[in-house]
Amino acid sequence: MTQGPDPRDPVLDSERVLELARRHLSSARSVTDLDETGGEARTYVIDEAYVFKTQRPHRVRPRTSLEKEVFHLNQLANRAREVNVPRVLGYGRESDVEYILMTRMPGVAMRRLALSRTARAGVLRELGRVLRVMHGLDPAPFRESGLFPGDQDPTATRTRLEADLQRAAETAAEQGEGWDLPFTPQEAADRVRDGLQRIDDSPVPLHSNPGPEHVFVDANTLRLTGVIDFGDAYLSHPALDLRRWAQPVDRIALMEGYTADTQVSESFQANWRAISVAMLMLDYALRPSRRAESLQGLRVLVSSD
């Protein structure tokens, strides 16, 4: 027997979407597409050029917030020449729906493109520059808004990252299968743990997951077009936004862009190394398709002393 749609998660009919959208965009004519691949969100494409985004109540995580996303995007609007993100046209909260109306990001998600090594490195260099601008936003308005969870100071960041690293080592050790490195998961954690003792970077506004599903690329020029989906944003160490790119070859390209104008401290590099090791151990344990790649990344990072 086929299970019907979840009653907590109704798909809005086109007229309802257009009624709400026209409060902010009078020219809205038709809903041209529906996308449910975002997990917590459902997006209705309007006239191929705008996105009407809602949350799916039964899937949304506690940290996810459309109101927070609007705030973050509006803060970035002042840096539009340096960072391309969706432009907010309207936000509303009705009895039956909370929504954002915004411009549609051109291009396609990076994960949908088979990029050559050279093209991939070029995109990551551009992304590194963009992330550095994002992390340069004044964190005070974010904290004062009350919308952004996260760390209050470097000490809180250090405590949380040390716990994350230890949990990753234990998870990898429990999996066990296929681990062929000349050190154990616990030894890997111990070799990079000292880097977390030197955290001196203040918490900054983070995207949370600027990975290949949220990084958009022009399919013809293979240039970065922008970054989407800020609903999980929080305040913490800037290197956490780089962890989805933990493979050594990606790290090099991303850091070239991130440091194109200003270098980072030695402590930042040590923190990022520890964060990357934790990410790779979790990938090894929880994502079998990435196991070989994760082990190779760990071999390089942990053996680089």
Extents of the domains making up the chain: 14-103, 108-302
pLDDT in tens, 226-251: 999 999 999 999 999 999 999 999 99
State if pTM tops 0.85: yes
pLDDT score recorded for residue 10: 82
**Per the structure block, which two tokens stand in for 211?**
């990975």
Query: Greater confidence, 130 or 60?
Result: 130
CATH number for the segment(s) 108-302 = 3.90.1200.10
pLDDT score recorded for residue 59: 63
Ranges 147-156, 165-174, 275-284, 296-305: which has the least confidence: 296-305
CATH number for the segment(s) 14-103 = 3.30.200.20
CA–centroid distance for 283 within its chain: 16
- Which H or E element spans position 111? none
Q: Residue 181's beta-bridge partner residues?
A: none
pLDDT score recorded for residue 292: 95
Neighbours of 17 (CB within 10 A): 23
